[in-house]
Structure 1
Amino acid sequence: MLQEWLLELLAGFGKLFIHPIFYFSFLLAFVVGMFRVSRERKDFHTRVYDIYQEVRYILPSSLLIGLLLSIIAVGFGLTLPLELLNFIAAVTIVLSAGGFRLLSPAWIIGLALLIFVVSEKIGYSFIPYEGLSFNKILMTMAIMLALLFITEGLLMLKQGWQGTSPRLAESPRGLKVGVQLAQRLWLVPMFLVLPTGELTSPWPWWPVVSIGSETYSFIWFPFLVGFAQLVKSTLPELAVKATGKNIIAAGVVTLLLAIAAYWVPLLAVVSAIFAFISRIWISWRHHAYEKDRHYFFTPQPKGVMILGILPYTPAKKMDLKIGEIIYKVNGIEVNTENEFYKALQKNAAYCKLEVVDVNGQNRFAQGSLYEGQHYELGLILVDEDKELMTEENERYS
């Protein structure tokens, strides 16, 4: 029995690397990265992160969560027909036309579930599930939706706010201001039980959502989880974490409704509708909140605000943060980007910055520079004349 399970798990693991979604995720992240770099070059005549930035986040942080979800799925025998999983993959590809923005599990699996239900009710069944329980399939989908919905919130809390892309916008007063685009794509591979194969049930109650099959196999299925959120009125970390917490709360409610569907099958559909609408409401709430608030990244009456930091530069090593205000460079007060770079030239080998951090506290940041290369500090600053190409922009374009 143990040997058969290990062989099936190994076979299921291998199926991940032949699934189109696995490779599609990397292609999608690469394409989104191309558009991001193009926008950054348009705004700043330089890229902030390279074209592979989105690709780097696809797997590492989501593998552990995928493992935990797999333990739950296999332990409770969450079982779906392969054709239905492939339909979920098809919905994923269709929604990816909007980039990462529409790749919430609430929309992907929720839409797949609702289409599946409607097709059955109108007598046009396109997913074969002969001998399986329709209600239990819905319950399994609802539970998977809820678990992945919670996963979306957790991943946003952990790293969704990191490495945001700065952009330029025009305020109602006609000033050049900055905004931040937070966007991520994660691949969450999850072991699921297929109602076909050579494995037999190891326990009388497995799968707990018994859908009529007597033999099983495993598949490691790749689910895509993505989001995109534009932040203008606060720091990205605060905005994205707030959204993540709201998603987790909505996901917990969705999970409770999905579990209750074991006794009241209609609640599986209710849970999917709740998740679908709540995710729309969370996005709308953020948009409405941002719409009526002032821009955060604006030209300052005293000092210059950091809008972006290029990786692998002295600014990064000096631990400068976006949203901080630099008001003195080498002891000289600065209020524009031109004044900032002129002050840097006062000392070609070393710079000392006086900074107001995001909590309003004064601090010092200092570091070495190479002689004659002061423009390699690596900062993108909020400035009224930001459309003009600076020396630093020329260096990194």
Structure 2
Amino acid sequence: MLQEWLLELLAGFGKLFIHPIFYFSFLLAFVVGMFRVNRERKDFHTRVYDIYQEIRYILPSSLFLGLLLSLVAIGFGFTLPLELLNVIAAVTIVLSAGGFRLLSPAWTIGLALLIFSVSEKIGYSFIPYDGLSLNKILMTMAIILALLLMTEGILMLKRGWQGTSPRLVDSPRGLKVGVQFAQRLWLVPVFLVLPAGDLTAPWPWWPVISVGSETYSLIWFPFLIGFAQLIKSTLPELAVKATGKSVMAIGAVTLLLAVSAYWVPLLAVVSAVFAFVGRIWISWRHYAYEKDRHYFFTPQPKGVMILGILPYTPAKKMDLKIGEIIYKVNGIDVNTESEFYEALQKNAAYCKLEVLDVNGQNRFAQGSLYEGQHYELGLILVDEGKELAAEEAK
């Protein structure tokens, strides 16, 4: 039996690389990255990150969490028919028309669960297998939804705030001000059990949530998780982490409801509706909060604020961060971008910056420069919006 399970694990592993969602995720990330680069070039005449930035985040952060979920899923024997997984994949592809914004498990899996539930009520079944417990299938879907929703929150806390894209927008007074756009796509592959195959239950109590099947197979299924968030009133780290904590809380409550469906089957559908509406509420709450708040990335009365930092540049090596204010360059006070670069040219080989960090503390940042790098320090400053506004007025 052990040999059969090992062979089935290998076969399930291979199924990941023939699943369309696996390749679709990279294509989607590439297309979104292309639109981001075009937007950055329009706003700043340069790109901040290259077109592959979104692709870099797809797997490294989420693979470990996917393996942890796989241990839970195989250990409890989470069983879903392949046809239902195909519905989840189809819903994911449809919702991806909005970019990463609608790819929360609350919406992709939640909508698939509701479609499946309604179709069963009206007499149209996705599942060709007789004797399977529909209530247990709904419960399993709800538990997977909850676990992936909590995974979304964890990924937002750990990685969602990194590598945000700066943008220029018009303030209510018609001035150009800065905002940050956080967006990320993660591929979370999870081993699941299919209710058809050559495997038999390894233990009498397995699967814990039995759908009525007697033989099984495995699949490493690629779930897509994505989010997008515009941030104007604070630092991206604070805003995205706050959203991530809320998503985790919604996921925990959803999990409690989903597990309770073991005794009250209707709670499986209730948990999906709760997750669906709860995730909408989180997004709306962020939008409503930001709508009436003052812009954070604005021209400063003293110094120039950092809106973006290009990777692999002297500014990155000096550990400068977005939101910090540079008020002196080589001992010279600066209040505009032109003053900043004029002061930078006072020393052709070395620069010393006096910075007010995001905690209100003064610090020094310094580093070596090379000839021709004065305008290649790698900073995008909020003051740059003044120059763009002046160009548009001409």
The TM-score range, normalised by the shorter chain, is over 0.9
CA contact under 8 A between 2:299 and 2:382: conserved in structure 1? Answer: yes
Please report how far the alpha carbon of residue 249 of structure 1 lies from its aligned counterpart in structure 2 after TM superposition. 0.4
Partner residue in 2 for 1:204:
204
CA contact under 8 A between 1:171 and 1:177: conserved in structure 2? Answer: yes
- For the residue of structure 2 that corresponds to 1:187, the secondary structure is strand
Partner residue in 1 for 2:219:
219
1:136 maps onto 2:133 in alignment: no
Please report how far the alpha carbon of residue 173 of structure 1 lies from its aligned counterpart in structure 2 after TM superposition. 1.7
Please report how far the alpha carbon of residue 125 of structure 1 lies from its aligned counterpart in structure 2 after TM superposition. 2.4
Query: CA 1:386–1:183 in 2, change beyond 3 Å: closer, same or farther?
Result: farther
CA distance in 2, matches of 1:348, 1:129: 75
Runs of at least 4 residues of structure 1 off by over 4 A? none
Letter in structure 2 aligned against 1:219: I
Partner residue in 2 for 1:192:
192
CA distance in 1, matches of 2:223, 2:128: 21
Residues 241-390 of structure 1 mapped to structure 2, 5 A cutoff: 241-383=241-383, 384-387=385-388
Please report how far the alpha carbon of residue 387 of structure 1 lies from its aligned counterpart in structure 2 after TM superposition. 1.4
- For the residue of structure 2 that corresponds to 1:374, the secondary structure is coil
CA distance in 2, matches of 1:388, 1:41: 15
Please report how far the alpha carbon of residue 348 of structure 1 lies from its aligned counterpart in structure 2 after TM superposition. 1.1
Letter in structure 1 aligned against 2:224: L
Give the TM-score normalised by the residue count of structure 2: 0.98
TM-superposition CA deviations, 1:158-214 (whole Å, max 9, x none): 000000000001111222110000000000000000011111001111111111110
1:39 maps onto 2:39 in alignment: yes
Letter in structure 1 aligned against 2:189: P
Partner residue in 1 for 2:150:
150
TM-superposition CA deviations, 1:75-120 (whole Å, max 9, x none): 0000010000011000000000000000000000000000111111
TM-superposition CA deviations, 1:326-368 (whole Å, max 9, x none): 0001111111111111111111111100000000000000011
Please report how far the alpha carbon of residue 389 of structure 1 lies from its aligned counterpart in structure 2 after TM superposition. 11
Partner residue in 2 for 1:72:
72
- For the residue of structure 2 that corresponds to 1:272, the secondary structure is helix
CA distance in 2, matches of 1:372, 1:184: 35
Partner residue in 2 for 1:393:
none
CA contact under 8 A between 2:193 and 2:216: conserved in structure 1? Answer: yes
Count of residue pairs brought into register by the alignment: 390
CA distance in 2, matches of 1:190, 1:25: 15
CA distance in 1, matches of 2:17, 2:356: 49
Give the TM-score normalised by the residue count of structure 1: 0.97
Please report how far the alpha carbon of residue 388 of structure 1 lies from its aligned counterpart in structure 2 after TM superposition. 7.1
CA distance in 2, matches of 1:190, 1:268: 21
| Structure 2 residue runs without a partner (length 5+) | none
Partner residue in 2 for 1:116:
116
Please report how far the alpha carbon of residue 24 of structure 1 lies from its aligned counterpart in structure 2 after TM superposition. 0.2
The Cα RMSD (Å) is 1.1
Partner residue in 2 for 1:107:
107
CA distance in 2, matches of 1:281, 1:251: 13
- For the residue of structure 2 that corresponds to 1:385, the secondary structure is helix
